[in-house]
């Protein structure tokens, strides 16, 4: 498998046959729309947390990684300092660095395109990229998904921020509970392994113990120690054959998102030329499995 990987980089869709191009584009843009739509909840929560409309939009434009953005405004909204908000958001964004390692193996972009690709490196673009059967399809999948999410995420953030501004008292509309719901929805798909469950349990204990004594924002950082503790322990045998903790990204169920957005049709998934033989079953499992718990 040596397609013209270097020449046809970037977002262009050349080098793909018509059927593959249609499949990749449909998947990329349906994920983009589905993901972008919840930018509306981020926009509303941003202004409810005390940021203004422009600060909220700046986070979506420049930080552009949903989990970190929710965490940032969550810490600020709870009365935490800017430093605590930055630290929490940055720790949550560490996974994007790992995605970068993985997608740079098939992207081959150079110069400014690589700089843009880095900005678009998020859960969704990585998930769609690594789910494709060929290098060229992976490149197109990554770029198109990244661009689609970027467009819709920012449009819906602006809409949500303006809406949130118009609503007034956030508690009256349950926006504080909406933030908890958003975090639990981001957490939910990650709780598949025994390690993840143990980490979550330890994080609950640490937070409850620390919260009454520490300033806002600190309990979340202390809870990060739960990941260190569980991660450094010897691995427990996992009931599922795919114990690697959320990598490739298990949290974005691409196939399901696609089915949701576009009825029940399924993407055909060529397996003839796997890029990383030992990663492929994982990607398949995370994309196709229907709630093993």
Partner 1 sequence: MTLWVAVLAGCALAYLTKLAGHLVPAAKLEGRRMRRVTGLLPVALLTSLVVVQTFAASGGGLSVDARVFGLGAAVLALVLRAPFIVVVVVGAAVAAGLRALGWS
| H/E segment holding residue 62 | none
Closer residue to partner 1 (CB): 181 or 270: 181
- Least distance in angstroms from the C-beta of 11 to partner 1: 16
- Least distance in angstroms from the C-beta of 134 to partner 1: 19
Q: How far apart are CA 131 and CA 134, in angstroms?
A: 9
- Least distance in angstroms from the C-beta of 268 to partner 1: 23
Closer residue to partner 1 (CB): 140 or 175: 175
Helices marked H in the chain = 18-37, 39-48, 53-58, 66-77, 82-92, 94-107, 111-119, 123-130, 135-167, 175-187, 194-210, 218-232, 254-261, 280-288
Q: Are 164 and 175 in contact (CB under 8 A)?
A: yes
Q: How far apart are CA 41 and CA 57, in angstroms?
A: 12
- Least distance in angstroms from the C-beta of 149 to partner 1: 13
Closer residue to partner 1 (CB): 16 or 175: 175
Closer residue to partner 1 (CB): 26 or 190: 190
């Amino acid at each position: 498998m040596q397609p013209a990987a270097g020449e046809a980089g970037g977002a262009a869709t050349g080098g793909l046959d018509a059927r593959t191009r249609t499949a990749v584009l449909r998947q990329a843009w349906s994920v983009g729309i589905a993901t972008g739509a919840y930018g509306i909840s981020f926009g509303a929560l941003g202004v409810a947390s005390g940021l203004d409309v422009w600060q909220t939009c700046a986070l979506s434009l420049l930080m552009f990684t949903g989990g970190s953005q929710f965490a940032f405004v969550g810490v600020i909204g709870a009365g935490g300092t800017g430093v605590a908000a930055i630290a929490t958001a940055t720790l949550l964004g560490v996974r994007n660095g790992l995605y970068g390692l993985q997608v740079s193996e098939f992207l081959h972009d150079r110069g400014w395109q690589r700089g843009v690709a880095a900005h678009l490196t998020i859960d969704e673009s990585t998930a769609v990229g690594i789910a494709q059967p060929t290098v060229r399809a992976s490149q197109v999948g990554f770029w198109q998904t990244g661009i689609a999410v970027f467009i819709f995420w920012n449009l819906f953030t602006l809409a949500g921020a303006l809406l949130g501004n118009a609503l007034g008292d956030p508690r009256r509309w349950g926006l504080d509970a909406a933030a908890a719901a958003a975090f639990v929805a981001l957490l939910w798909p990650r709780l598949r392994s025994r390690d993840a469950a143990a980490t979550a349990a330890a994080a609950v204990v640490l937070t409850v113990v620390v919260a009454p004594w520490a300033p806002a924002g600190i309990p979340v950082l202390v809870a990060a120690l739960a990941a260190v503790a569980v991660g450094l322990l010897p691995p427990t045998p996992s009931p599922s054959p795919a114990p690697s903790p959320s990598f490739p990204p298990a949290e974005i169920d691409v196939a399901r998102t696609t089915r949701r957005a576009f009825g029940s049709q399924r993407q055909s998934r060529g397996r003839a030329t796997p890029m990383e033989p030992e990663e492929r079953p994982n990607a398949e499992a995370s994309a196709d499995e229907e709630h093993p718990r």
